[in-house]
Amino acid sequence: MDKLAVIAVDGLVFASWLFLVSAGLSLIYGVLRILNVAHGGLFAVGAYAGASLVVAYSAAGLWPLGALLALLAAAVASGLVLGLVVERGVLRWTYGREPVMQLLVTFSVFLILEDLTKLLWGVSPYYAYQPYQLLGQARVAGIDYPVYSFLLLVVAGGTGLGLWWFVRRTRFGRLVVAVIHDPEISVAMGVNLARVYVTTFTLGAVLAALGGAFTAPMISVVPGIGVEVIVLAFAVVVVGGLGSLEGAAVGALLIGLVRAAAVHLVPVLELFTIYLVMAAVLLVRPLGLFGRIEARRI
């Protein structure tokens, strides 16, 4: 019984982290129809930026909890800059080309970002444990959990609700929905496609950086952390149905819970759970849980 509670808590925490790191990927795919492999690089930059800002902030001896705001600021700043540069500088030249070529382009950007982090931050690890330590521990279901884990729940939930509000309740969000539905008709109706694309991509980049920044306090930030994130985020998004935010949330929840169950029940399988869930879902529903069927072509 205790085990069940532990699995539920672990699963929820992991799921909220998964949603946080995959929301941007899903959003960008939904609107631009591009699988952004550079997502992993943006995640890494966000983590490095967040870690170094937290270290600097903590050394200054100001209001301790401000370190959390430092994470947020680092994510928004690095995401904004890189999102704009990548979309305006590279991606926009590839619109209308084969999806496979676009995939390779974002893969190239990922390679560049990987070395950029090494050149900017070096190869020795960064530790930004201050926010993690500061929040301390809390006892849930008889086990001590770091409060920071629950902060992740709040951040992921806030991100999800914020996106939902943005897409469903704002004017710009409605334009985005129109573009998702049918880019050609949207253009005919006077939607400025270029603006929708650059805004969406930048927002997606900020989300990727946000995921990285809030991950930083829990890990040692080293080269190569972006690689695993791409695969994980892709799995989440595919399970939920590419381009669907609701899908990403459900996919994160499913994978989070299954992985937590594996950790506590069959530890050997832990490494494979995510791939097993992905394969199982795709075999039953090739387009993912929330995937849309294409319209008639002939």
Residue 94 is a binding residue for another protein (CB under 8 A): yes
Strand pairing report for 137-140 and 126-127: unpaired
Residue 284 is a binding residue for another protein (CB under 8 A): no
Separation CA 60–CA 246 (nearest Å): 41
Min dist. Cβ of residue 147 to another protein (A): 32
Separation CA 78–CA 52 (nearest Å): 12
Min dist. Cβ of residue 35 to another protein (A): 4
Q: Quick one: which of 144, 271, 280, 285 contacts another protein (CB under 8 A)?
A: 271
Compute φ and ψ for 146, nearest 5 degrees: -70, 135
Q: Quick one: which of 227, 246, 263, 264 contacts another protein (CB under 8 A)?
A: 227
Residue 85 is a binding residue for another protein (CB under 8 A): no
| Three-state secondary structure call for residue 62 | coil
Q: Quick one: which of 59, 60, 101, 284 contacts another protein (CB under 8 A)?
A: 101
Residue 100 is a binding residue for another protein (CB under 8 A): yes
- Nearest residue to 292 (alpha-carbon basis) of 182, 204, 138, 128: 182
Compute φ and ψ for 287, nearest 5 degrees: -100, 10
CB-CB contact of 218 with 17 (8 Å): no
- Nearest residue to 105 (alpha-carbon basis) of 117, 94, 119: 94
Residue 4 is a binding residue for another protein (CB under 8 A): no
Q: Quick one: which of 64, 66, 88, 107 contacts another protein (CB under 8 A)?
A: 107
- Interface with another protein by CB under 8 A: which residues? 35, 90, 93-94, 98-101, 103-105, 107-112, 114-116, 118-119, 123, 227, 231, 234-235, 238, 242, 268, 271-272, 275, 278-279, 282-283, 286, 296-298
